[in-house]
Amino acid sequence: MNYRSWACRGLVSLLLFATYPLSAQTPPTAQPLTLQQAWQQAEVHNHDIELQRRQVGISEELVQDRAAQRLPKVEAGGEYAYLAGLYAFEPNAGLHHGEAVPVPPGPHAYNVHLDASLNLYSGGRVKKQIEEQHLSAEVETERLHLTQNDVRLRVALAYLDLQRNLANQQLADNSIRESEKRLRQIQALFRRGVVLRSDVLRAELQHSRQQLLLTEIKNNITLANQRLNLLLGAPEEQLNQPAPEILPTGGPAVPTDYAASAAQAQQAPELKIAGLQTKISENKLEQTEAAKKPHVGAFAEYGYTYPNRLVFPNVAQIYSIGQVGVRVGYDLSAHYIDRHAEKAAALTVQRQQVAEQAALDRKKEEVNTAYVRYQETQERIRVAEQSIRQAAENYRIVNSTYFNQLALLTDLLDADNQLLQARIDLVTAQTQAAAHYYQLQKALGQL
């Protein structure tokens, strides 16, 4: 191989070596994301919301379809017939003595007609059907609000989980740096013969455990990112950088007591849906009652017929005839055929009234649980803050006494673990407080 080939290969290898580490080591940039931005993105791209939004569109079209039943019905049609032979039978001779009679003017017959009808009165049944479809559309709209609240809560919980793990990652990083500093100090004391080899091993084991904790936290961050991205309809690999503040600010105020919470919850989508379903069942009962009322309709007909069969023998001519009138009917059988359907509709109303009360009971329980848990987390935050102050002071004292050879390393490592755990407990308490806050707002129908 000549010198030029070696030079080319060397240049290519140098370029690959220079560019590969840069492309492999450059981490993707995290996207700053507030909770409000996450909610806005989910409102546009979340699949559950989009499905329910399309269902609302379907229900609105069905309202228009039902209203169109009030319009006149118009039908155009035609008819062609090939007339068979005509047989005439003698009076009182039965079917044994017949004679074929020619069918003038021929075997072909045609008819073209246009019919129109308009429902004038049907006991209010059409009106009730339109009202029922309006109520169904309102139910789907409230279900959209409920889906939006559910998705907002799921986004908030995923967002808080990401915040918690990022905060824990920062705590673990700080703890590892402190552990590395302490390990170097202990190794220096060991080289001077001040401490035993077991102290070095314990310090190294503590450092390894903290690194394993950091790895677990990073994996949790990856999973929380994916879960949040799926809710937002974003690429799964997108990295999100949430706001550092965990506790909510600027949101709706928390009610002062349970009674105030229960009063606000009356406008929650779940209760509105239950009330609308009760109205739908009452509407269906009224429809069954309308079947026992008379119905009135107007009609108009016009057509052309060939041949003229109004006379006999038929005449080879096209004739037209039209008529306009009113039809009145009364279904007598509805009084005994539909009575079971009417009873079933009445029982459905009673059942739905019980279901509405059951929905109210569930809502009261949901609101009370979220309210009590939120108040509980406020106390957890206070206790966690106090624990951090105590653990930090304990760690300072034990750290000073250990390096003055007045305490055991196990005491120092325990103090370090307690301080890290106290800080993690505070982050967890803040996350739980925020989660219960959003759960309470969702229960109140204000999320």
Cβ 49 vs Cβ 43: under 8 Å: yes
Do 222 and 328 meet the contact criterion of CB atoms below 8 Å apart? no
pTM: 0.80
pLDDT band at 31 (very low <50, low <70, confident <90, very high): confident
pLDDT in tens, 346-397: 999 999 999 999 999 998 888 888 889 988 998 999 999 999 999 999 999 9
Q: What top-level class would CATH report for the domain 38-83+111-443?
A: mainly alpha
Beta-ladder partners of 82: 108
DSSP 309-331: -SSSS-BS--EEEEEEEEEEE--
Q: Spell out the domain ranges in the chain.
A: 38-83+111-443
CA-wise closest residue to 265 among 362, 193, 375, 151: 362
Tens digits of residue pLDDT in 288-307? 888 888 888 898 999 999 88
As a whole number of Å, the CA-based R_g of the chain is: 41
The residues pairing with 86 across neighbouring beta strands, listed in sequence order, are 101
Higher pLDDT: 387 or 317? It is 387
pLDDT higher than 80, residue 79: yes
Q: Are residues 155 and 292 in contact, defined by beta-carbon separation less than 8 angstroms?
A: no
- pLDDT tier at 196, thresholds 50, 70, 90: confident
Distance between CA atoms of residues 288 and 337, nearest Å: 11
Cis peptide before 105 (omega within 30 of 0): yes
Read off the pLDDT of residues 97-127 as tens digits, 9 standing for 90 and up.
677 777 677 788 889 999 998 888 888 888 8
Helices 125-191 and 35-45, axial angle in degrees (round to 10): 140
